[in-house]
Amino acid sequence: MKKLFLKTIFTSVIAFITLGSLSHAATMICNDVFLTEHKISAKFIEENFAPISYGKQLVDLSSGRKIALIFEKSTTTDANLKKPIFVMTHGMGESAEAHTELAQIMRDKGYDVLRVSLQGHGETLIESMKKEPIPYIIPVEDNIRDLAEVLYRVSSDRQVILVGHSYGGAVTLGVAEKFEKMGIASRIKDVVLVASFVKSLDKYYMDSVTSGMAPVQAQKLVLKTLGIPGEWVESFYSPFEKITAPISQMFQYWRDMFYGTIPVDNYRDMALKPSLEMFKMFQFPLHYAFQAPPMKGEENLKLDFGLRMKAVLAATRGVSDFNILDYSKELDLPKNVKYILVSGSTDDVVTPSMLNEFKDRLDESGYKTKSMMISGGHYLVREKPAEVAARLVPVLN
C-alpha cells in the first residue's frame, strides 16, 4: 500500500512537471507564431494582452520584452476618429522624443499619433538595463516584431500611416513586409520613408568604394564634423560630383550585376572586410555624436553619452544585413499602399541617390511611389518638422 502511494505521488509529480513544461512550450510556440512565422495567434494575443490605449506608457510584449511608447489623440474633434493613425519610428540613437514637434503638428491636423522607442533606445533601453546590460547586438528583427505587435494591438478597424526615419525606415519596411506575409497589409494606408535605410550597410559602404566616391564622402564627413554647414560642403563638391557622375554610374552598374550574382557573404570575407567594418562601426556613431542635433526629452537625463553610443553600435551591428534592395529576389511588400520617399538634399548618411535607387526598384515592380526632396541634412524630422508636415499632408490626404 505504501509503495502504491509513493508511486502515485511520484507519477503525479512527473505529470505536473510534464504538463507545466508543455504549457510553457505551448506559450512559447504561440509567441513565436506571431514573432517568427508571419502568422498570428489572434486568440493568444487578445486573451493575454490588453489593447494599447492612449497615453505615455511601458507596454509588455508577448516576447517578454517591454517597449516604451506615446499614443496621443488628435487635438481636433472626434469627427476625425477614422483617420489613419500616424505611426512614427525614430532613427539610430534617438527615441520617441525625437518626433515631438512633428507629432504635435500632425495631431493639430487631425491625426492620432503613435510614437515608439525601439529596443536599445530611449525609455525602452532604460527599462531593459534594469534586468541586463546593453547587448553586443540588437537585431533589427526584434524591433520589427515589437512594432508589428504594437500595431496589431492598437486598433483593428483603423488604418495606419507608417513613417520611418533612417534606422526606423528599415523597421517600417520590415513591418510592411511582415503584414503582407500575414495577410493584413490592408491595414497600412501609406509608408513614408524619411532618409531611410533600404540596403545592408555592407553594400552601402561597398557603394562608396565601387563608385570611387569613398574619399570624397570621408572628406565631407570631416568638414561637416568640424562645423562647416552642410550646404556649403555640398555646393563645394557638387561640380566635381557632376563631372565624375558618368564614371560613377558605370561602376555602380557593374556593382549591381555583382550583387545579383554573388552572395554578400562571399565578398564580405574578402580583403574589403576590414575597411567595411571600420566605416560601418565608426561613421554612424561619429555622425550621431558630432552632427546630430541635441536630443530633447527626459531620457537624456538618465542615459549618458557612453551608453547611447554603445547602444548605437549594437543597433548598427543588428541592421548590417537588412537589405530590402536585394536584387537577387523579388520585393515582397504590400502593393495596396503608396510609398513616399523623402530625402534631405545634403544628406550624407542616406544619400538621395540611395532612395532614388529604391524608388526605381519599386516603380519597376509595379508599386505606387512618390518622392520629394527637402533642403537639409539627415535629421529633417527634428530640424524641419513644419516643412516635412507641409509637404506630406497634401500627399497623404
Per-block average pLDDT, block size 10, for the chain (397 residues)? Answer: 46 41 39 42 66 90 91 78 88 88 94 94 90 89 93 85 94 93 90 88 56 62 69 74 68 56 50 51 59 59 71 82 75 92 86 87 92 90 92 88
R_g of the chain computed on alpha carbons: 23
Percent composition of the chain: helix, strand, coil (DSSP 3-state, to 5): 55, 15, 30
> Residue 328: its pLDDT value, please?
65
Hey, CA dihedral for 29, 34, 36, 37, is it positive or negative? positive
340 in helix, strand or coil?
strand
- The C-alpha cell 514573432 sits at 35
- The C-alpha cell 512565422 sits at 37
> Residue 352: its pLDDT value, please?
87
All three cell numbers of 219: 572628406
Fold of 51-198+312-396: Rossmann fold (3.40.50)
> Residue 253: its pLDDT value, please?
61
> Residue 256: its pLDDT value, please?
55
CB of 189 within 8 A of CB of 84? Answer: yes
- The C-alpha cell 490592408 sits at 186
Tally of residues, the chain: 397
> Residue 157: its pLDDT value, please?
79
> Residue 112: its pLDDT value, please?
93
All three cell numbers of 18: 510534464
> Residue 92: its pLDDT value, please?
86
All three cell numbers of 17: 512537471
Q: What pTM did the predictor assign?
A: 0.75
CB of 166 within 8 A of CB of 197? Answer: yes
CA distance to 118, 165, 386, per residue, from 279 (Å)? 24, 21, 33
CA distance 263 to 332: 19
> Residue 165: its pLDDT value, please?
95
